[in-house]
Amino acid sequence: MQNDADPKRPESDHSEVANLPALNDTVEMDALDIPHIGAQEPIEIPSVTTVDCVNGIAAWLTMKSPSRETENEDSLGVISASSDQGILVVADGLGGHRGGKNASQALVKSLKKGLPVRKEPVEDRHILISKGLKVPLQSQTDQSEVDGLRSVILNRIEAANKRLIKSGAGSATTLALVELQGSKARTYHAGDSQILVMSQRGRIKYETVSHSPVGYALEAGVLSEQEAILHENRHLVSNVIGSRDMSIELGPWISLAARDTILLASDGLFDNLFAVEVVECIRKGSLEDGVHQLAEIAVKRMCSRIPNLPSKPDDLTILAYRRKPRST
């Protein structure tokens, strides 16, 4: 399968690649030497939407590829079940398949429809130790609710997968989903829409691996990140919602510290920016400004071809979440 809005990919010389900092280095954006590139006609970047969500804030934007007139096939959702439970989701309908937009929308709607809403948050339980310090205790119902939400998410994904197959339209979609439970998060994904979890200092706590030949080669060390992002077969995807062989990769629980950031995005972002660029844009400062800056750089890359830098026009969806500091 392929997930590509523009089948004519730029030629690249893999013997010469951009000299970028290591993935986990903490650097300033000036050190990345990102060119300020303008398209023939200015591309309007949508405004960023923000909302309070599960002990933090979420910010997002979505837009169609600047190189085509067809509709945006990406969909996203920010779904709160309670003040301390919710999910973030990005779905990218497969370009070249009939009904890509319908597939991504159907998946997000299925998740919204099935997520149980808890009207009252679980009462905090704690004990007091020396000098009145409160130590939180897990309530007896917490673990059952956590397991229950996982089951709901997986069941809704499976239901959407069955409906897409039954429709016979040949449509499919990727999935990048983050489940939020209090101060923890875990990922669910299928396809090449990626998820990054990072600290304010820029340390990557977790990163999903794209379900694609190039993604697996990158993870195995066969390709460098620079070689992978410029690879002619990067658009091929091996696992999607809407396939009889669909599988969901479930990540581990990740503890979130104050000001940690989670980023989910369609390949319109990760096919045009290196991971270190994404991290440096979004890890600190205003979440709204960071999302807008990522979109601005991605669109400029899409509209211009610079040697050794990626340039792949595609629909673009960016969804970021940042955990707020605990109030005192």
Does some domain include residue 18?
A: no
Does some domain include residue 12?
A: no
- Sequence length of the chain is 328
Task: Write out pLDDT tens, residues 255-310.
Answer: 999 999 999 999 999 999 999 999 999 999 999 999 999 999 999 999 988 888 99
pLDDT, average across residues 101-125: 77
Does some domain include residue 124?
A: no
Enumerate residues 6+ apart whose C-beta is below 8 A from 308.
Answer: 12, 13, 16, 17, 18, 226, 230
CATH number reported for the structural domain that contains residue 152 in this entry = 3.60.40.10
Amino acid 115: pLDDT: 79
Q: Tally the C-alpha atoms within 13 A of residue 116's C-alpha that lie toward its C-beta.
A: 12
Does some domain include residue 24?
A: no
Domain that holds residue 74: 29-116+142-323
Enumerate residues 6+ apart whose C-beta is below 8 A from 44.
Answer: none
Does some domain include residue 8?
A: no
Query: What's the distance, CA 234 to chain centroid?
Result: 17
pLDDT, average across residues 58-82: 92
Amino acid 56: pLDDT: 96
Asked if 246 and 178 count as a contact pair (C-beta separation under 8 A), the reply is no
Does some domain include residue 14?
A: no
Amino acid 295: pLDDT: 97
Residue % of the chain over a pLDDT of 90? 66
Q: Tally the C-alpha atoms within 13 A of residue 185's C-alpha that lie toward its C-beta.
A: 30
Q: Tally the C-alpha atoms within 13 A of residue 247's C-alpha that lie toward its C-beta.
A: 7
Enumerate residues 6+ apart whose C-beta is below 8 A from 73.
Answer: 92, 93, 94, 95, 100, 101, 104, 315
CB atoms within 10 A of CB 111: 22
Does some domain include residue 37?
A: yes
The tally of domains found in the chain comes to 1
pLDDT, average across residues 170-177: 96
